[in-house]
Amino acid sequence: MKPAFLDLDPDARRVPVRFAGETLMLPEGANLAAALLAAGVTVLRHTPVSGAPRAPYCMMGACFDCLIEVEGTVRQACMMEVAEGLEIARPHEGSAR
Amino acid sequence: MTRYDLAIIGAGPAGMAAAATAAQAGLSACVLDEQPRAGGQIYRDVERAAGLRGDVLGKDYTRGAPLVAGLRAGGITHLAGAVVWAIEDGFRISYTQGGAAAQIEAGRVLLATGALERPMPLPGWTLPGVMTAGAGQILLKQSGVLARHAVLVGAGPLIYLIAAQMVRAGTPPLALVETQTRADMLRAMRHLGGALRGWRYLLKGLGLMAEIIRARVPRYTGAKEVVIEGDGRAEAVSFQSRGRRHRIACDTVFLHHGVVPNTQAARSLGVGHAWNAAQHCFVPVRDAWGQSDVPGVFIAGDGAGIGGAKAAEIAGRLAALKLAEETGHLSASGRDDRAAPLRAALSVELAARPFLDAAYPSYAGAIAPADTTVICRCEEVTAGDIRGYARIGCVGPNQTKAFGRAGMGPCQGRYCGLTVTALLAEANGQSPDDTGYYRIRPPLKPVTLGELASMDGAGPEAAG
């Protein structure tokens, strides 16, 4: 299936980023949440209450639904930029998943 | 700790315009903004994106570029990527930038924190693939990322704007599912006379509509009983329109039924707020200059009541003129002379508002959601839970936290606060003003111990 999102700038320089154990090539300096969506990632985390899947919702740092874990710290993907070698995990799920 | 005459929170139109006007008058101004580049959400990343996609985004977007350039003027310090998490009396402002916490001091504070999408709790709105329409615009502006198979759901001019932008970019939305009714439009007509003074907005709306119709994007109006279906992600929107049930398969759903002031920072400072029935939200108490009921705290732009980007820019300048006068950089008559044309322009900017508010009201099904609908996304509390708390004596939003954690998750009530107030007000037969809102306390955004430990100038000398 095609990703739900289309990237209008496919020529940007791409760098490897690890997300939940998978290597993705994402545009350097791009908004991380947007880059993950464009790469076909649909679920960024599962809620601690019911385990329901979640993905970016507001894209402006207000809703906290795009939480990810980077180097042991839970952060908002929509408030970060793509950098080479980022190691991202779904929060509290460990880097292998 | 560096001290400024004025600290401005937010680099959207209000904050940027206020900084330029204040600096021109001779004040030292520090603009703190959490995004890596200035512009706010309306002009997000405009300096980069205007050249890349200005044709898709339109002139109302690219006109933000000179405002961003204005931040480089002398007298203005722009702290980009600075997440403000506390504003304390005096004023001391604590923020995180690049993984380290820091503080500045300022004689006065202008809050230009803008708007948030009005929460739109529907069945299925927490599924991956469901986003705010504002988020859809941010994806397009900042990242050039477009949804291939999207349905727009709700009411308001922003729905038409993003639909037209998607048409221009070559990926029109699958459908517009609009919740406003013919009766809403008839009620709005009594405001049409006044709205004609804001004819530019009405004309722009008609132009957007023409683009949408030319692209043959199906429109369904008067939609109700809207449900987002999907197992693990959004797969379809189903709804009732003109007596028939419809179902549209899609990957992405963009929700919008208006925006509301982001009041977190103002509330944390103890600024009074009052219910605005026309805009169906709380707005901070302030005078014609944007001065709040807390000495030294000003509020400008959509954070003070929804008026749009151009109104925000004017309000920012008005606040800066008053601040310049208060700090002895401008005489009272000089202030008033410069304010007069701004006030005239502001009244034109706001002329179409009552018409738009009446024609595109918030969606009733999301103001009083079904019992099973999640209303607090963070803690997964349902509308039925809140009604249940009311039945056992819960009268205000702060009490709901003790009953069931609503508003205690990481978003700190940003996307459930107004819903909780509305549900409790209805269940208890009280006004929204009597029901109140969550008490907001710092930190306004999460801060790690590591960031705190790295705080520059946090020693006893700086603290004293």
ipTM of model: 0.96
Based on the structure, what is the number of domains in chain A? 1
Considering CB atoms only, which of A4, A44, A58 is closest to B251? A4
Q: What is the CATH number of domain B3-116+260-330?
A: 3.50.50.60
pLDDT in the model for residue B461: 40
pLDDT in the model for residue A92: 81
Q: Average model confidence (pLDDT) for chain A?
A: 92
Please give the average pLDDT of every successive group of 10 residues along chain B, which has 464 residues.
97 98 98 97 94 91 96 96 95 95 97 98 98 97 95 97 96 98 95 90 93 97 98 98 97 98 97 96 98 98 97 98 98 98 97 95 97 97 97 94 91 96 97 96 92 69 36
CATH class of B368-435: mainly alpha
**Contact criterion met (CB < 8 Å) for A58 and B116:** yes
What's the token pair of residue B136?
């859809």
Q: What are the boundaries of each domain within chain B?
A: 3-116+260-330, 119-257, 368-435
Does the residue A47 lie in any domain? yes
pLDDT in the model for residue B282: 98
Q: How far is B24 from chain A (nearest CA, A)?
A: 30
Pairwise CA distance, residues B264 & B271, whole Å: 10
Tell me the pairing of strands B281-284 and B224-229: unpaired
Per DSSP, chain A holds a count of helices (H) and strands (E) of 1, 8
The CATH number of residue A75's host domain is: 3.10.20.30
Same fold, B119-257 and B368-435: no
Helix (H) / strand (E) containing A85: none
Coil, helix or strand at residue A31: strand
pLDDT values of chain A reduced to their tens digit, one per residue, 97 residues: 678 999 888 888 999 999 999 999 999 999 999 999 999 999 999 999 999 999 999 999 999 999 999 988 999 999 999 999 999 999 988 644 4
pLDDT in the model for residue A94: 62
Q: How far is B384 from chain A (nearest CA, A)?
A: 17
pLDDT in the model for residue B460: 39
Domain that holds residue A28: 14-89
Residue type, B104: I
pLDDT in the model for residue A12: 87
Q: What is the CATH number of domain B119-257?
A: 3.50.50.60
What 8-state DSSP symbol labels residue A37?
H
Does B130 lie at the interface with A, CB-CB under 8 angstroms? yes
pLDDT in the model for residue B456: 66
The chain A residue lying nearest B139, using CA atoms, is A34
